[in-house]
Amino acid sequence: MASGNIDWIRLDKALSVEAEKGFTNLQGNQYQFNEFLCLNFGNSPPNGTPTSDRRKWQNFAAQYADYSNLSVAQRKTLISQTRQFLYELRKTLETPSEPQPPKLPKTTAITDKKASLRPISLEQSLSTLAEVGYKRAELLKRLGLYTVKDLLFYYPRDHIDYARQVTINNLVAGETVTIVGTVKRCNCFTSPKNKKLSIFELILRDHTGQIKLNRFFAGTRFTSRGWQERQKRIYPLGSTVAASGLVKQNRYGITLDNPEIEVLDSVGSSIESIKIGRVLPVYPLTEGVGADLIRKAIIVSLEAIKQLRDPLPRVLREQYGLMGLKEAISNIHFPETSELLAHARRRLVFDEFFYLQLGFLQRRQEQKQIHNSTVFTPKGRLIEQFDNILPFSLTNAQQRVINEILEDLNSVTPMNRLVQGDVGAGKTIVAVFAVLAALQSGYQAALMAPTEVLAEQHYRKLIPWFNQLYLPVELLTGSTKKAKREEIHRQLITGELPLLVGTHALIQDTVNFQKLGLVVIDEQHRFGVQQRAKLLAKGKSPHVLTMTATPIPRTLALTLHGDLDVSQIDELPPGRQAIQTTVLTGKERTQAYDLIRREVAQGRQVYIIFPMIEESEKLDVKAAVEEHKKLSDKVFPDFNIGLLHGRMSSVEKDGVLTAFRDNKYHIIVSTTVIEVGVDVPNATVMLIENAERFGLSQLHQLRGRVGRGSHKSYCLLMSSSKTPDARQRLSVLEQSQDGFFISEMDLRFRGPGTVLGTRQSGLPDFALASLIEDQEVLELARVAAEKIIAADKNLGSLPSLKKELETRYQKLMGGEILT
């Protein structure tokens, strides 16, 4: 390749890592990302670069010089354009003079000689394959693999690229490659330090240099002289050998780590191994099931690919540049090139997203066809009165979302809307308008929150407003006394109680409404699917309003709530000040304590938060209790300090929070119990210990407990971690107060399951798709699904697509019905 001195590999790695880390202009060992790119594009382009490409090359140097001033979206576009440019340029510069890699046979040709001559069918049991047999088929059942079709759709979790052949002098540590050379020396012997370890040693040479390869075999059967001599005879001096593996640098020089090795007939002959010289699939495994078993079974099963029918219409495939299904399945397993693998993955990722979105949109169509008598009037006495008693004006965003909700409630189709709003955006007010629309139309409403603290907070907010409107409202939680609970049950059945606020206690069988017309679920992602459904079942197709103060990135919203209408309160009420956020180390703790003393001296209050220790709630409580004692006795002996943790009873928690609201405590030491729902306008300092152990969205939620009054507020993030990644993650909070941006970055850093809480997140079970890497494909799939549904909502003209949807959607969602 006539490519000058350009280090293509390092350039591509730099661009890949920058994209993976969220386009943050990473700091390398010597240079920042954009400096490294400027240096590379500042050099002359490679020899043979066309004139038009030379101009583009120089333009990239100028664009990366201005990289720090670009938005995340602009950086993303620039990097995408750069990678495409480098790929095309490298293809242009390739010349035939480069040594050709060994010829690889078609994967379907790598089969066992004992394979049956009978054609293999998609529904054929794996036990009938000669390469598998009954015993191995029983092992594969542990992975849910029963038929040939199951195997074909059992995608690799990763690939190791051994397809790139390089010469010995071009080996770079960290890459996976294949080399071809001549055997200069071969030896196999027992380790002098471990009599049960046999060491195989091979020295290869090509026209650029030589390399020593080692393999290690543990066990007495490998230390016999006979076995060792047989190994040496396999690789005679002067024979041609191909070796694939991960390049490593050790104290003896460069080598391949535990390489796969095969003797060739000659330098240009075919490699027959299923591992060497190709892009090798890596599959999810389980105990007793080895990688080679799955690879060999899939190779045999590839014969059945020709029986697959592609459900996607050809017009759609051509419009979105998608590979055919047969070709995609073949290349996701054993691709001939990395480019074919990328195209195959894109098609199969598109399928996963497309069928999910198609299912969501069909459900949405079905919901809109449900007609009932639960129609609320958007205008009425209660809404007018509430408008008059509000001591402040609604923001434009609040008014817009209220109008969207009232329009939904005035329809015979049950509302199914999610309201997203940042901390302090005023979601509760919006929900009250929906509740009043239900009440003035003669229906009851229920508001369910995930914790007693949050339910109590809502109840406290609603009481003053509902008292002025002469409307009863009650609170039902696990702590509600038996007599009070029974009274609430009676009033619900008679219809005397129009609004009930509560926790999971609302879904108990003993709770029955006379005429439930509206369900409001706060922080709904904290509830399981069945819990939400159980509350809905207490009415006849009630309208549903779900709310979250945890802004969800669009990719997550589409994947979780593709069948919901989504409203965003993207504007904070006037007067809300930005919270000054600072990341501190242990050495700067004195500064934090000085700030706390100053704020308390001015009559303000403080939160000090400790992380939840998932392994042991006892340790979590112990840490908080010990720190409370230390702060009370030694650090702030003149201040009243309260303690709040998850092991306290609801009555105890409520007592501490009430005392804090009444300014009887200057400081409250707490675990993450106060993450949402606590509203104390006088609190101005939030000190979070071990902040690196929290997610960004959770830190943003905690930060939202201060800055709720008119005084300047502070959030101090104490971190004991010295890793650059932790510091980089926390710096996002120093730079931004935007919950949507923060949640997007949290998604990039930690992944969707962790951001949402894996257990109850309701995330679909994707085999290939990544909500971080495949956002563009998700957007395409959504648009494609919308076009298909708009043209044929019942998919009557696309029977194969309809059949595939039924299978795929149920499998992705685990058979669950979403709210």
DSSP for 173-203, please give it: TT-EEEEEEEEEEEEEEE-SS-TTEEEEEEE
The confidence score (pLDDT) of residue 95 equals 47
Q: What gap in Å lies between CA 631 and CA 634, rounded to an integer? A: 6
DSSP-derived pairing of the beta strands 209-218 and 197-206? antiparallel
Residue with tokens 């390739």: 94
Q: Structurally, what CATH architecture does the domain formed by 381-410+426-548 represent?
A: 3-Layer(aba) Sandwich (3.40)
Q: Taking 70 as the threshold, does the pLDDT of residue 114 lie above it?
A: no
The CA-CA-CA angle for residues 752, 733, 21, to 5°, reads 50
**Tokens at residue 472, please?**
């009863």
| Mean pLDDT score, 19-36 | 80
Cα distance between the two ends of the chain: 57
The confidence score (pLDDT) of residue 21 equals 75
DSSP conformation class of 147: B
Burial of 212 (C-beta count, 10 Å sphere; 0-12/13-18/19+): middle
Q: Which band of pLDDT confidence, cut at 50, 70 and 90, is reported for residue 277?
A: low
Q: What is the pTM of this model?
A: 0.61
Q: Are 596 and 667 in contact (CB under 8 A)?
A: yes
DSSP conformation class of 95: -
CB atoms within 10 A of CB 489: 17
Q: What gap in Å lies between CA 658 and CA 677, rounded to an integer? A: 13
Q: What gap in Å lies between CA 506 and CA 446, rounded to an integer? A: 8
The confidence score (pLDDT) of residue 346 equals 94
> Residue 115 to residues 120, 132, 133, 154, 291: CA-CA distances in angstroms?
10, 10, 11, 21, 20
Q: Taking 50 as the threshold, does the pLDDT of residue 377 lie above it?
A: yes
Q: Residue 205: in which H helix or E strand, if any?
A: strand 197-206
Residue with tokens 């930060």: 703
Q: What gap in Å lies between CA 57 and CA 81, rounded to an integer? A: 11
Give the bridge partners for 581, in sequence order: 715
Choose from 81-95, 260-274, 721-735 the range with maximum mean pLDDT: 721-735
- Among the ranges given (101-110, 681-690, 736-745), the one the predictor scored with the smallest mean pLDDT: 101-110
Q: Taking 80 as the threshold, does the pLDDT of residue 120 lie above it?
A: yes
Q: Taking 60 as the threshold, does the pLDDT of residue 2 lie above it?
A: no
Q: Taking 70 as the threshold, does the pLDDT of residue 116 lie above it?
A: no
The confidence score (pLDDT) of residue 267 equals 58
- Among the ranges given (230-244, 276-290, 302-316, 586-600), the one the predictor scored with the smallest mean pLDDT: 276-290
The confidence score (pLDDT) of residue 520 equals 93
| Mean pLDDT score, 423-435 | 87
The single-letter code of the amino acid at 406 is: L
Domains 381-410+426-548 and 580-736 share a fold: yes
The single-letter code of the amino acid at 560 is: L
Q: What gap in Å lies between CA 786 and CA 339, rounded to an integer? A: 29
**Tokens at residue 548, please?**
């979250």
Q: Taking 60 as the threshold, does the pLDDT of residue 3 lie above it?
A: no
The confidence score (pLDDT) of residue 816 equals 40
Q: Residue 29: in which H helix or E strand, if any?
A: none
What is the edge-to-edge ordering of all strands in the sheet holding 714-718? 580-584, 714-718, 683-688, 605-609, 667-670, 641-644
Q: Which band of pLDDT confidence, cut at 50, 70 and 90, is reported for residue 555?
A: low
All residues at 6 or more sequence positions from 705 whose CB lies less than 8 Å from its CB, including other chains: 607, 674, 678, 679, 680, 683, 686
The confidence score (pLDDT) of residue 54 equals 82
**Cα 815 to chain centroid, rounded:** 21
CB atoms within 10 A of CB 614: 9
> Residue 500 to residues 39, 481, 491, 515: CA-CA distances in angstroms?
65, 15, 10, 12
The domain segmentation of the chain, as residue ranges, is 8-93, 160-282, 325-370+769-812, 381-410+426-548, 580-736
Q: Which band of pLDDT confidence, cut at 50, 70 and 90, is reported for residue 244?
A: confident
CATH of 580-736, one of 3.40.50.300, 3.40.109.10, 3.20.20.70, 3.40.47.10: 3.40.50.300
DSSP conformation class of 365: H
Q: Taking 60 as the threshold, does the pLDDT of residue 540 lie above it?
A: yes
Burial of 490 (C-beta count, 10 Å sphere; 0-12/13-18/19+): exposed
Q: What gap in Å lies between CA 613 and CA 645, rounded to an integer? A: 12
Q: Are 564 and 417 in contact (CB under 8 A)?
A: yes
> Residue 814 to residues 383, 528, 533: CA-CA distances in angstroms?
41, 13, 15
DSSP conformation class of 444: E
Domain covering 160-282 assigned CATH 2.40.50.140 in the classification: yes
The confidence score (pLDDT) of residue 595 equals 95
**Tokens at residue 726, please?**
């932790």
Q: Residue 525: in which H helix or E strand, if any?
A: none
